[in-house]
Structure 1
């Protein structure tokens, strides 16, 4: 049995609790939060509560799930790693590449595993898209598009002082679109260069609420990224589209869970429709957080690297950082400018 502890008893922690409870071989034994009222909500049914992470780390916890505001991820990850605990850290893993590198180094030095929560990779439609790419069904890819047109109203940002700040939240790319950016990277491979514009147009926050970027991938394909939390009056669309010489695929919906276009050379309309119908019967599949917990549980048991490792989380963070740099400087940013520390 792999024993889990959760740090940060906010909204996202509830998904971790459900995921651990649903995973065979995993057990939630401890929670930690500096807010006593929040702690009481989780510290029940035999689950021990701690106001100090150090106290929780002195228990028999095997894996620590870090569910705090983003700016706190690095120090808590390193503290857990130094206590020889494996780590699952919510996205973004950090807000700077320097911190991400320190986290990865701490886990490697202490012989522990780290996974970053990018659960959208496990969506049934996304899994099908990845299969087509691995089989070469698109032929030569021309371009790809990722879109996040969501609503996070002012009340969302006003409910906690860290939301919308550069130090703890990071903005629409870091806090919302990073999942879609992770998928774009996972499908298209490494990036050569990005150009970007960002703005704080509507929300009263420190970070950006709107961003558009153009990407050149190392394989020569182009990409477009659009992200906003200003869509009225509610979430409109999340989509991922790939266009190649022999295939067109669009995954979309209010969240990117449904296949909207599925056309490939040699694939009949009946075969395409069968895939679309299969996804429509179960568009969400096993919850992504449960897949992350299951994968870490098995990674510890089998002594292997988690699927969405710290290095994978760093790639998505690098993409965000490059877009932010390009927007700030008004110049294209080559990914090799982002040096590893």
Structure 2
């Protein structure tokens, strides 16, 4: 069995608990949080609980540590786990600075442990199908792509925890809400060369931006648009990813990007198109993304292989967010090479 520990017992930790319980060959051994009250449900189930991560690492037979704390705390905790010889699963974003992301990656590589970043949307049935279409060359040359997140996070959401909406711990709408969609954009379209962005804090009483719009050029020459907002009234409207090429069009959307809204390829018959849409419509969620991440990490540890979503993948998404934020702050285009 691969033994897991969770550090940070807030809301997102529940998904990790469910995923560990569902994974074949995995078991939750310990939890850690500075607030003892958050660990009471685990104590009742006989799971070891700690308020100090160092003590947990020293006194348990943990193989993998899942970092589920606010984003600004990811780096020191992930590095501490790696230095103790533990494999690491870190929630998105991998960190809030490239320096911290690089330090996590280097600590894991230096200690010979695996590192996975939680970008679970890659495992959605429609995204796996979309990746197969990209790998088959079905789009031909890409012309452009759009990534859109139009969600609602009201003031009550931000007031629930003091770290939410801050630059130091949250990072803003691109970093906290839209980064999964940006990971998908990069996974499917390849690297970005340059961005030009605007962002504002329009409607929420927070430090970070609540709306952001960017245009970008991929290294392939294709263009792109990113729109992200948590200001939608009165609830989440959509998460959409659209890819356009010389021989293919795909639009995936809904309140979360799980459903096909447009699907046309020169190498597919109408019947094949309808069969794809039917298959996705009847199983839009598939295996929950966190379950897929934990099962993959469990298998990666057993097989001594790299996880499906690596630290470098997490760094790429972070790099794009930071480029957009710097462009908005500086009022000019930003080359991603300048960040590397």
**Normalising by the residue count of structure 1, what TM-score does the alignment of the two structures yield?**
0.99
Contact 2:88 2:116 in 1 (8 A): yes
Contact 1:9 1:42 in 2 (8 A): no
- Separation of aligned partners in 1, 2:130 and 2:43: 40
Offset at 1:44?
3.1
Indicate the residue corresponding to 1:35 in structure 2. 35
Indicate the residue corresponding to 2:2 in structure 1. 2
Indicate the residue corresponding to 2:92 in structure 1. 91
Offset at 1:220?
0.5
SS at match of 1:11: coil
- Separation of aligned partners in 2, 1:280 and 1:315: 31
Offset at 1:270?
1.9
Does residue 114 of the first structure (1) align with residue 115 of the second (2)? yes
Contact 1:195 1:327 in 2 (8 A): yes
Contact 1:240 1:250 in 2 (8 A): yes
- Separation of aligned partners in 1, 2:46 and 2:123: 31
Indicate the residue corresponding to 1:19 in structure 2. 19
Indicate the residue corresponding to 2:81 in structure 1. 80
- Separation of aligned partners in 1, 2:30 and 2:44: 9
- Separation of aligned partners in 2, 1:253 and 1:132: 20
- Separation of aligned partners in 1, 2:12 and 2:264: 36
Question: Which runs of 5 or more structure 2 residues have no equivalent in the other structure?
Answer: none
Offset at 1:41?
2.1
- Separation of aligned partners in 2, 1:233 and 1:268: 40
SS at match of 2:279: helix
Indicate the residue corresponding to 2:209 in structure 1. 208
Contact 2:138 2:267 in 1 (8 A): no
- Separation of aligned partners in 1, 2:10 and 2:42: 10
Contact 1:114 1:306 in 2 (8 A): yes
Indicate the residue corresponding to 1:319 in structure 2. 320
- Separation of aligned partners in 2, 1:44 and 1:227: 41
Indicate the residue corresponding to 2:177 in structure 1. 176
- Separation of aligned partners in 2, 1:247 and 1:274: 17
**Normalising by the residue count of structure 2, what TM-score does the alignment of the two structures yield?**
0.99
Give the paired residue count: 339
Offset at 1:42?
2.6
- Separation of aligned partners in 2, 1:136 and 1:310: 27
Comparing 41-50 and 170-179, the one that deviates more = 41-50
Does residue 135 of the first structure (1) align with residue 156 of the second (2)? no
Question: Which runs of 5 or more structure 1 residues have no equivalent in the other structure?
Answer: none
SS at match of 2:12: helix
Does residue 295 of the first structure (1) align with residue 289 of the second (2)? no
SS at match of 1:323: helix
SS at match of 2:178: helix
- Separation of aligned partners in 2, 1:111 and 1:266: 44
RMSD: 0.7
Does residue 70 of the first structure (1) align with residue 68 of the second (2)? no
Contact 1:66 1:73 in 2 (8 A): yes
- Separation of aligned partners in 1, 2:42 and 2:72: 23
Does residue 149 of the first structure (1) align with residue 150 of the second (2)? yes
Indicate the residue corresponding to 1:158 in structure 2. 159
Q: List aligned pairs for 1:139-288, cutoff 5 A.
A: 139-288=140-289
Indicate the residue corresponding to 1:103 in structure 2. 104
Indicate the residue corresponding to 1:50 in structure 2. 50
- Separation of aligned partners in 2, 1:108 and 1:38: 32
SS at match of 2:166: coil
